[in-house]
């Protein structure tokens, strides 16, 4: 058989044959095993094609087979194909799969991430915009350091106008393909008295002077080259070269990526974009779901192929996910169905209502133990949460139970930077001799106490045989430090003394919040404008909430020390704990989806900031969560949850209502929301005529609360009072803190509850 790629540069490529299927399947063995939808997506090679690939529908196979089909059919040489992915891992996997079908020719494909392909182009043509071919690419830390230098040179007050905030704006402008000249006054806002555009330009000038780029430049500079009227031949050459363009995860493209692709596709228009508008969940990092929604307008005459045969999940899970996502209005529309008609229906999605977050964590871990006893490996079980701060209760329960776990895409809760910093503050307050803790936070946030100050403390501590805090206390009474450093260190020591003095009288959770606020640590993260800054603030609030469960600050610190001693063997299977965003693209046998409550999921901030658009992205995130599971899904919510040191009564997420009753099994404790039955298929028997609408849910909560409040004692509750709780039964009040009561129940043990949920016995 002749090699279809053994063509001289001047030998014409065989004329395209449109989307026609090859005459004999024997001549196209690479198409064997494809279902009709997949085969259509592979063989429709000419003209614009949008492949809507639902979760678990064999997208990767379609992508690689399409590339191989174009090559094996002789439609183009390898270097005439441009294939774009979002991750290096996806690019490697795609190249390996194509190589298995076509051989060494796969190495000549233009295949890679947007960034990698942008670098390749700039190495060739960057000199035209002032970049040498050996330019460097700055990482995030270097970018920020350079911008700080630019702002310092411009005499911008970086305490008032943090560099991190401007860096975030510059990244967003680059994601939208905007050069400094294209950023108008409205875009720039009032940052640094309206100087953001000027600072952006100065930052770009410094990058060029250093022969460097940041990641946003890799496409921004390409767009500048493509649009430059003096170098029209560059775009024209690439347009002619790339006969076929294939794009993975098109729903995640930003504006700059979209513009880059559109320019390159204008000559041949053989662009195939594969994606799923129902899985567009990254708007917070610049992704524009509108790119995939308007594909047919951008490319008139486009063919749309829907991959709806799912080979991952059970029919019950698919029905639940499809029913949920059908409530989104802004979508192209598709319905997942089983790829195998003989597959059993499977267990319904379990939806469980619990009293509070602690009980939710206990229930989830008990179910994990049950699934493991039934033969499910631990590494095929996942807990997927909406936000990182939610992992703490599950981590602690897993540790207590002795179940190994790993946090994917992040650190364990108590290993996160902001948590370790906060704990260091608390340790110094509780134990002034803790040198390691004091050294960690003496200059966090930055106070001007640098290496010289720290060295002076160490020298004195060694000479006198005392701890660092004691050394600092003596040092501020001498002239060894510069006046500013001496004053700052003295003020810090005074703060620690004052906080330590508050320990006997102030509740330790309140003291912890006071320490974080007065030290400036919380404010440091609030001022930070990086994508993960808000998550760090939420983690700090979760930390102080967790302290409510312990009698004292030292008791809590002892607990944390024991938790952090958890064995970290790497050779055992572990339960996977991660955020829903981090789970995209993964799959597990069993998936737990906790925290499905209004304000938690859908997240309140997402709805407040972007309205219906934010709500629909939250619903897509829920859809992603459901479709990660192969066999079982467990959704849970808590009627009461401690959030940011406050007990809150929560409504079940609207997403629960949107999961079809016939594909779910609803379980809830009696007394929850005014009376839910122990088990019901659908909400009918438990909720008295169907799952409540938003208005009815609000009324149910109000009625339940008012029912309890009506019989509360006039003078309130006091320690020693005998009371009754709808769920926990009879008990005696041990302590009172505002509306929060600590009660020793006869059968349920010690619980903290809100006074509106108990009645005098």
Q: Is 698 a catalytic residue?
A: no
Q: Write down the catalytic residue from 43, 214, 249, 616.
A: 249
Distance between CA atoms of 612 and 565, rounded to whole angstroms? Answer: 45
Q: Is 60 a catalytic residue?
A: yes
- Reduce the DSSP state of residue 639 to 3 states and report it: strand
Q: What is the 3-state secondary structure (H, E, C) of 141-169?
A: HHHHHHHHHHHHHCCCCCCCCCHHHHHHH
In Å, what is the CA distance from 219 to each residue of 215, 236, 238?
Answer: 8, 17, 15
Q: Write down the catalytic residue from 28, 40, 43, 59.
A: 59
Distance between CA atoms of 15 and 221, rounded to whole angstroms? Answer: 34
Tokens of 664: 């779910």
Q: Write down the catalytic residue from 45, 251, 253, 279.
A: 279
Q: Write down the catalytic residue from 37, 175, 248, 434.
A: 248
Rounded to 10 deg, the angle between the 217-227 and 114-125 helix axes is 50
R_g of the chain computed on alpha carbons: 30
- Is residue 219 within 8 A of residue 257, CB to CB? The reply is yes
Q: Is 488 a catalytic residue?
A: no
Strands 81-85 and 110-113: parallel
The beta-strand segments (E) located in 559-673 are 575-579, 588-593, 629-643, 646-649, 664-668
Q: Which of 574, 585, 623, 643 is nearest to 389 (CA)?
A: 643
Q: Is 249 a catalytic residue?
A: yes
Distance between CA atoms of 415 and 637, rounded to whole angstroms? Answer: 26
Q: Is 59 a catalytic residue?
A: yes
Other CB atoms within a 10 A radius of the CB of residue 477 amount to 9
Q: What is the 3-state secondary structure (H, E, C) of 347-391?
A: CCEEEEEEEEHHHHHHHHHHHHHHHHHCCCCHHHEEEEECCHHHH
Q: Is 417 a catalytic residue?
A: no
Largest CA distance in the chain: 96
| Residue 15 DSSP label | P
In Å, what is the CA distance from 128 to each residue of 178, 238, 239, 240?
Answer: 19, 16, 19, 21
Q: Which of 365, 432, 440, 318 is nearest to 55 (CA)?
A: 318
Q: Write down the catalytic residue from 17, 21, 60, 343.
A: 60
Q: Omega into 445 within 30° of 0, i.e. cis? A: yes
Please count the residues of the chain. 761
Q: Write down the catalytic residue from 334, 619, 628, 697.
A: 628
- Is residue 420 within 8 A of residue 413, CB to CB? The reply is no
- Is residue 379 within 8 A of residue 576, CB to CB? The reply is yes
Q: Residue for token digits 């169907």?
A: 690
Q: Is 235 left (phi over 0), alpha (psi -120 to 50) or beta?
A: alpha
User: How distant is the alpha carbon of residue 687 from its chain centre?
Assistant: 34
In Å, what is the CA distance from 242 to each residue of 101, 232, 264, 528?
Answer: 21, 16, 8, 42
User: How distant is the alpha carbon of residue 414 from its chain centre?
Assistant: 18
Beta-carbon contacts of 542 under 8 Å, excluding residues fewer than 6 positions away, are 389, 390, 392, 413
**At CA 309, angle to CA 308 and CA 315, rounded to 5?**
105
Alpha carbons within 13 angstroms on the beta-carbon side of residue 701 total 15
Residues designated as active site? 59-60, 248-249, 279, 628
């Amino acid at each position: 058989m002749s090699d279809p790629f053994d063509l001289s540069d001047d030998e014409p490529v065989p004329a395209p044959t449109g989307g026609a299927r090859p005459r004999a399947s024997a001549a196209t063995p690479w198409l064997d095993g494809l279902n009709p939808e997949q085969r259509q997506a592979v063989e429709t090679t000419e003209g614009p094609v949008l492949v809507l690939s639902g979760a678990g529908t064999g997208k990767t196979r379609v992508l690689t087979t399409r590339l191989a089909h174009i090559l094996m059919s002789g439609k183009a040489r390898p270097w005439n194909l441009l294939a774009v992915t979002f991750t290096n891992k996806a690019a490697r996997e795609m190249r390996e799969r194509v190589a298995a079908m076509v051989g060494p020719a796969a190495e000549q494909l233009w295949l890679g991430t947007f960034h990698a392909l942008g670098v390749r182009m700039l190495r060739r043509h960057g000199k035209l915009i002032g970049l040498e071919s050996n330019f460097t690419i700055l990482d995030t830390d270097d970018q920020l350091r350079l911008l700080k230098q630019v702002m310092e040179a411009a005499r911008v007050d970086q305490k008032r106008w943090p560099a991190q905030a401007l860096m975030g704006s510059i990244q967003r402008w680059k994601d939208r393909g905007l050069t400094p000249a294209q950023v108008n006054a409205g875009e720039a806002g009032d940052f640094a008295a309206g100087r953001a555009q000027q600072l952006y330009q100065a930052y770009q000038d410094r990058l060029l002077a250093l022969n460097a780029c940041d990641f946003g430049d890799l496409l921004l500079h390409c767009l500048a080259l493509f649009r430059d009227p003096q170098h029209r031949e560059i775009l024209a050459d690439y347009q002619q070269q790339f006969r076929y363009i294939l794009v993975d995860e098109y729903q995640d493209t930003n504006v700059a990526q979209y513009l880059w692709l559109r320019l390159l596709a204008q000559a041949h228009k053989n662009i195939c974009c594969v994606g799923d508008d129902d899985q567009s969940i990254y708007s917070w990092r610049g992704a524009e779901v509108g790119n995939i929604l308007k594909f047919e307008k951008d490319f008139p005459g486009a063919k749309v192929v829907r991959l709806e045969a799912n080979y991952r999940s059970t029919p019950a899970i698919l029905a639940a996910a499809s029913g949920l996502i059908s409530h989104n209005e802004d979508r192209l529309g598709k319905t997942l169905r089983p790829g195998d008609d003989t597959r059993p229906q499977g267990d319904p999605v379990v939806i469980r209502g619990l009293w509070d977050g602690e009980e939710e964590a206990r229930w989830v871990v008990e179910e994990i133990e049950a699934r493991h006893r039934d033969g499910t490996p631990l590494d095929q079980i996942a807990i997927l949460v909406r936000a990182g701060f939610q992992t703490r209760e599950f981590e602690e329960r897993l540790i207590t139970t002795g179940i190994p776990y790993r946090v994917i895409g992040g650190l364990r809760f108590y290993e996160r930077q902001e948590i370790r910093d906060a704990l260091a503050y608390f340790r110094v307050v509780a134990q002034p001799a803790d040198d390691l803790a004091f050294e960690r936070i003496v200059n966090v946030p930055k106070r001007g106490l640098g290496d010289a100050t720290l060295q002076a403390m160490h020298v004195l501590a060694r000479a006198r045989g005392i701890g660092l805090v004691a050394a600092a206390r003596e040092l501020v009474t001498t002239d060894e430090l510069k006046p500013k450093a001496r004053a700052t260190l003295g003020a810090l020591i005074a703060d620690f003394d004052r906080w330590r003095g508050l320990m006997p009288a102030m509740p330790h959770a309140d003291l912890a919040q006071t320490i974080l606020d007065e030290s400036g640590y919380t404010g440091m993260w609030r001022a930070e404008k990086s994508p993960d800054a808000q998550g760090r603030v939420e983690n700090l609030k979760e930390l102080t909430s967790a302290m409510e469960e312990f009698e004292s600050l030292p008791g809590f610190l002892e607990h944390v020390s024991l938790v952090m001693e958890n064995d970290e063997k790497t050779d055992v299977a572990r339960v996977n704990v991660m955020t829903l965003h981090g789970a995209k693209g993964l799959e597990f046998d069993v998936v737990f989806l906790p925290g499905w409550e209004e304000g938690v999921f859908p997240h309140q901030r997402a709805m407040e900031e972007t309205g219906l658009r934010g709500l629909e992205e939250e619903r897509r995130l829920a859809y992603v969560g459901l479709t990660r599971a192969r066999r079982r899904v467990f959704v849970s919510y808590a009627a009461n949850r401690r959030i940011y040191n406050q007990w809150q009564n929560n409504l079940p997420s609207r997403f629960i209502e949107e999961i079809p009753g016939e594909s779910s099994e609803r379980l809830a404790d009696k007394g929850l929301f005014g009376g839910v039955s122990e088990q019901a298929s659908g909400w009918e028997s438990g909720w008295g005529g169907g799952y409540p609408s938003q208005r009815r849910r609000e009324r149910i909560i109000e009625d339940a609360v008012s029912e309890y409040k009506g019989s509360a004692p006039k003078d309130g509750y006091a320690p020693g009072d005998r009371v009754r709780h709808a769920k926990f039964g009879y008990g005696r009040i041990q302590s009172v803190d505002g509306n929060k009561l600590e009660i020793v129940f006869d059968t349920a043990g010690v619980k903290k509850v809100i006074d509106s949920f108990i009645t005098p016995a």
